[in-house]
Every structure is written in structure tokens, then in C-alpha cells.
Amino acid sequence: MIKKIILLSGDPNSINSELIFKSWKKINNKLKKKIYLISNYNLINKQFRKLNYKIKTIKVKSIDDKIKTNELKILNIDLNSKKTFDISKKLASKFIKESLDLAHELASTKKRCGIINCSIDKKLFKKKNIGVTEYLSLKCGIKDKSETMLIYNKKLAVSPITMHDDLRNVSKKITKKKIINKVKIINKWYKKYYNLKPKIGILGLNPHNAELRKNSEEKKIIVPAITDLKKMTININGPYVADTFFIKDFKKFDIIVGMYHDQVLTPFKTLFKFNAINITLGLPYIRISPDHGVAKDIIGKNKADTTSLINCLKFINSF
């Protein structure tokens, strides 16, 4: 059972303050007591005021502080800026790093803590092609790239073998070992939390699966990986041709594994919009996030959809 929920306010130049406020107003008091927001106390309150949001907040030094009220509890990250939304990229990058480091420390050392991070612009990470999933994996000492992104909805989940890699590099990053490791992690997670042997469908990489030519990734890598996974009694089938798969075939499966990010996330988001969450599998603690970006184009316009963040809060509270 999760006792404390570590919520990161995420990118300071985003719709996150709007989402946090709206979500806070919708959840019950029992859930509110579990939540500790990692943010900058002055900044988040300035953003609430600018949006004309009235919410009671309190600065706390530790998640062990016994707070009896239902105020929003804030673990403060120093941020020396008087501006409300326009935080420099350098300062925002430092803020994100310190927020993630604190969340990782709390989830690693305190029992039964889970992390939810609001959206973060990947440009704030110093290394190329890295996001929260990869950053926390490195913090946990996971060096074999076996961390796994699962975009989850009760009706369907999808997972890419490669994550934030440029398309020109995808074929170089796909290996039989990586496919096997990630599918095993997904299978283990479903067994652990849902006592379910999931039905897994896996897509090929190339158009028409490259007609399964001898030198194709399908023939050399994907098919052998599927063969080995079946020998492990994992319920997996494929490779399926990606261009028609999401017309109806996806309905036969619990999880669809694709070879690259947009191959599975684009059709998934077309089907489910914001009704999904992003889960990182393979970490020693639960980490999830809303399945959308920072949406800088609608900051301050009262248009942000809370569906995904509310789903995150409900999901992590169920453990």
C-alpha cells in the first residue's frame, strides 16, 4: 500500500500549475493527505495567484512531518527568480534535476512511496535523447537500458522498445536481447500487480515487415526474440504489420510492443486521447506521469485537461 505520494510540479514553464490546482479540487481529503508536492513554494503560489486560483499551501521540511490540515504540502526547491512563468532554461533545468533527485531519494529510502511527475520538456535534460524514464533509471543504477515505458489504459497498453531515439538510429538500437528483456519486465509487472498473464502483440519495424527478407530486422532480430519468449511461456505473438494493426487486431491484446516511440504512441493517443498514464517499469519504486507534454501554447488559458493527472493519482493510490 502506497502511504506517501511524491508529486513533482515538473517544468515551471508549463500548464502544470493549472493541472495541479484543478486536480487538487477534484480529489478527496483522504488522498490529499498522502500527497507531497516537490516544487518551489513561492513560484507555485505566484502561478496560482496569476491564474486567480485560491488554494491553501504549506511548506514542509519532510514527508514525515505530521500535518493534520488538508493544505497542499510543498517540499521546497530553492529557485531564485521573481518571475511567474518565464523561468530561464538554465534555471528550469537545475530545478528539474534537483526535483527528480529529491523524489528519487525519498522513494528509495522511505517505504511505500510512489512518484508522479508532471510533464517536463526534454530539452531541459543536458544529455540528448533522455527523459525522466532514462534519468531515473541511471539514478537507480540501471545500465543495461532495460527500463521500460508503458503507456497504460485499462483497455490497452503500449510499450516501445526504443524510446526517445531519432528515427535514423532506431534500427541500430533494436536487439534481440533488448526485446526479450523488456517483454519479460512487462510480463512480470502484470503478473505482480494484476495476477495476469497478459496477451502481448509485437509489431515489426519496416513497412510490410520488409516481407520478412533474410536481412531484415524482422527476420534477424524480432522473430528470434519472439521464438525465445514463447519458450519462456510468455503469451506473445507477431510480428504484426504496423500500418493496419490498429484498425481492429489490437483488440485481441492487453499490450502492444512496438519498435519505436511514435509507432505505438500515435495510434494509442488517437484512440484514448488523455485517458492514459505513463509508467516506468523496472525501477525499484513506482513512477508514473501524465501522458502529455508541457503545452506551452495554452499556459494561463484555463484549457488544460486534468484527465491524465487524475488517472495518475487514482492509479498510484490503488497500490
In this prediction the pTM is 0.88
Say which CATH number the domain at 305 has: 3.40.718.10
Do 224 and 273 lie in a common domain? yes
Do 269 and 306 lie in a common domain? no
Do 118 and 250 lie in a common domain? no
Do 171 and 300 lie in a common domain? no
List strand residue ranges (DSSP E) for the chain, in order: 4-8, 35-39, 57-60, 72-76, 113-117, 148-152, 157-160, 200-203, 236-240, 255-258, 277-281, 286-290
Distance in angstroms (rounded) separating the CA atoms of residues 72 and 70: 7
Distance in angstroms (rounded) separating the CA atoms of residues 278 and 117: 10
Do 2 and 136 lie in a common domain? yes
Do 31 and 79 lie in a common domain? yes
Do 310 and 288 lie in a common domain? yes
Do 76 and 212 lie in a common domain? no
Do 128 and 156 lie in a common domain? no
Do 257 and 299 lie in a common domain? no
Where the chain has pLDDT below 70, the residues are 80-86, 129, 143-146
pLDDT for 143 equals 67
Give the structural domain span for 170: 146-279
Number of domains in the chain: 2
Do 176 and 125 lie in a common domain? no
pLDDT for 84 equals 45
Do 315 and 247 lie in a common domain? no
> CB-hemisphere CA count at 13 Å for 151?
29
Q: Is the peptide bond before 239 cis (omega within 30 degrees of 0)?
A: yes
- In order of 20, 177, 200, the CA distances from 28 in angstroms are 14, 44, 35
